[in-house]
Amino acid sequence: MVQLVDSNLGSGTVDINQRTNSNHEANHSEQDKMLSTMKKELSKKELKEEVREKLKDIKDNLEITKDIRCGFGFIQGKILQKFATQEVFVLLYGILGATIQAGASYFSGTISTLEKRYRIPSRNMGVILTGNDIILALFGIPITYYAGRKHKPRWMCIGMLFIVAFCLLNTFPHVIYGSGKEALALTKEYEEDHYSSLQNATDESLCSKEGVECIKEGSLIPQAIFFVSQLMWGIGSPLYGNLGMAYMDDNIKRSKTPILISFSFFIKMLGPVGGYCLAAWCLNMFISPELTPTIITKDPRWLGAWWLGWVIVAVIMAFFSFMIALFPKELPDRAVRKLLEDQTKDEVTKKKEEVEAQISWKDMKITFGRLLRNKILMCSTVGSLFYCFGYYPYWTYMPKYIEMQYKVSASKSSLITGVVGLVFTALGIISSGAFVSKVRPRARCLGGFNVFAGVVTILGIFSYTLLGCAEGDDFNAMIGRVNSSSFSAQKMTTCNADCNCDFSRYSPICSMDGTNMTYISPCHAGCRSSQILDDGSKVSV
């Protein structure tokens, strides 16, 4: 019995030893795999560090030629050369883009004030805003093609100077015409002169003969100036946008391209927020800041200092335009990578690239034809065209829409437009760039998400039709509630049909026929003239 037990115990001991040995062998194999993996990772890291050290040595010993030298003229040196990096360029490119977007949003935020000050109909303002698109359509491609083979940062600076000219030209109407008599009459300094002129004028014509507009449109000179400024914008914007993207594509590593480009777009999207906030700040000041207005900002007759923001934007833009011009034709890191690539190329390939780099109209046609045959690019371009066709006018007139629909001041409508929508746009851009860099989804997934986002955006825009104030949508609320016993709606519309009352001053009057109707101006009531009686009261008929 004991021997049997001993033999069984012995066999059990052998089994345990075998299992223990197998476990040790498995653990050793796993440890060996982990060690080999760690060695491979360490070898990769060491290899990367070694490559970085070699690239750094090549960069430090690289001859500073005119193509990689940062600065020009007497503004150059070793200290300045340290800033010739892709990170600094992306930062400056984003800041410049922010100033451009600030200028565009500032123009949008001041449109209602410009239309009111110079009596520009909205249809004319729409034509003015097409000036930059006309230049882009006619000269955008040849300008970008020619400048793309030259010193890109300096040509970007030239384009930015055209946009600076756009900003300064927008201030010219104020320099030429000043604040206007109507605005000056609403100040303490000039109100006595205004009242004395009213006392001398006993008869005033509000509407000329039937079929003639009673309130004529403003002079064409301010409209022509604004249109020429838009042409300047059209010349400068492709030089900045297209050349900047090409410069980043040439000089930034592909692994860092998504995050750096999204970072630059994030900075650019802060520009519209700043532009609308600047418009709100400027429009909150009277058009002549040195004078004391007798009305508040909520008064429909209020005119803000729309011209002041253009000076601020022009100064900031000119400063950073000079900074971008200091960058070399290509960054030193790009020159190092290009040097290593050239060592592996044969002479035939080098000569072929030199021929392709030469500027010619024939080469431009070939390049343009190659782009037209790219189906994905063409579909994306057509989609962008429809996007611009619908979204740009919507966003341009959004401040005016909020101002008119919800009866708020021009400064408040600009502040709402800039802060709410564009902040979320900026957050979306920076988060999407980080997501694409880390996850790297397929192109099909990105395209599907873009379609989904577009559909949600369209549904959100259509929801605006369900929002608003009932009185703001009611035509009778603008001209007074018409009593069917004394007037009919048809008579009311035909009464002032020949009078263009869009630019009439806010001057509410009451009817004298017992209906207790109030109109926002004599023109809206259909009055053709006004008289000042002996007792000083004013009667419109």
Helix, strand, coil share of the chain (percent; to 5): 70, 5, 30
Residues in a beta bridge with 510: 518
pLDDT the model gives residue 58:
57
Listing DSSP states for 360-394 in one string gives: -HHHHHHHHHHHHT-HHHHHHHHHHHHHHHHHHHH
- Identify the pLDDT of residue 214: 45
For residue 117, give the CATH number of its domain.
Answer: 1.20.1250.20
What is the mean pLDDT, run by run of 10 residues, along the chain of 541 residues?
Answer: 44 51 54 56 56 58 70 80 87 93 91 90 88 84 79 92 96 93 86 56 47 58 94 91 86 76 82 89 93 86 93 96 90 72 57 54 74 84 82 80 79 79 74 78 83 85 72 43 39 56 62 61 70 57 58
Question: Do 408 and 510 lie in a common domain?
Answer: no
Q: Rounded to an integer, what distance in angstroms lies between the CA atom of residue 540 and that of residue 512?
A: 10
Which range of residues forms the domain containing residue 402?
Answer: 86-191+223-332+390-442
* Separation of alpha carbons 182 and 90, rounded Å: 47
430, part of any domain: yes
Is the same domain home to 91 and 22? no
In this structure, is residue 116 part of a structural domain? yes
Q: Transcribe 439-486 into DSSP letters.
A: H---HHHHHHHHHHHHHHHHHHHHGGGG-S-HHHH-HHHHH-PPPTTT
- pTM listed for this prediction: 0.69
User: Is there a single domain that holds both residue 177 and residue 236?
Assistant: yes
290 and 401 share a domain? yes
- Domain shared by 321 and 418, yes or no: yes
In this structure, the number of other CB atoms found within 10 A of the CB of residue 443 comes to 8
Whole-number pLDDT of residue 126: 87
The confidence score (pLDDT) of residue 371 equals 81
Q: How many domains are there within the chain?
A: 3
Tell me if 357 is assigned to some domain: no
Q: Is 205 a member of any domain?
A: no
Is 217 within a domain? no
Same-domain pairing of 58 and 90: no
Q: Do residues 106 and 48 both lie within one domain? A: no
Q: Mark whether 44 and 110 lie in a shared domain.
A: no
Q: Are residues 248 and 315 in the same domain?
A: yes
Scanning the structure block, which residue is given the tokens 């564009």? 422
Per-residue pLDDT, 312: 96
Question: For position 441, what pLDDT does the model report?
Answer: 84
DSSP 348: H
Q: Are 187 and 474 in contact (CB under 8 A)?
A: no
pLDDT at 208: 43
DSSP β-ladder status, 71-72 and 75-76 = antiparallel
pLDDT at 160: 95
- Verify that 285 and 324 share a domain, yes or no: yes
How far is residue 141's CA from residue 131's CA, in Å, rounded to a whole number? 16
DSSP 203: E
- Would 234 be classed as within a structural domain? yes
In this structure, is the dihedral angle defined by the CA atoms of residues 431, 437, 439 and 442, taken in order, positive or negative?
positive
8 A C-beta contact, residue 235 and residue 406 = no
Q: How far apart are CA 486 and CA 27, in angstroms?
A: 102
- What b-and-e string marks burial along 490-525, b requiring 16 or more CB atoms within 10 Å of the CB? eebeebbebbbbebbeebebeeeeeeebebbbbbbb
What is the per-residue pLDDT for 212? 42
* Residue 299 falls inside a structural domain: yes
Q: What is the pLDDT of residue 181?
A: 86
Going by C-beta distance under 8 Å and a sequence separation of 6 or more, which residues neighbour residue 411?
279, 280, 281, 282, 283, 284, 297, 304
User: Are 164 and 119 members of one domain?
Assistant: yes
- Residue 198 inside a domain? The answer is no
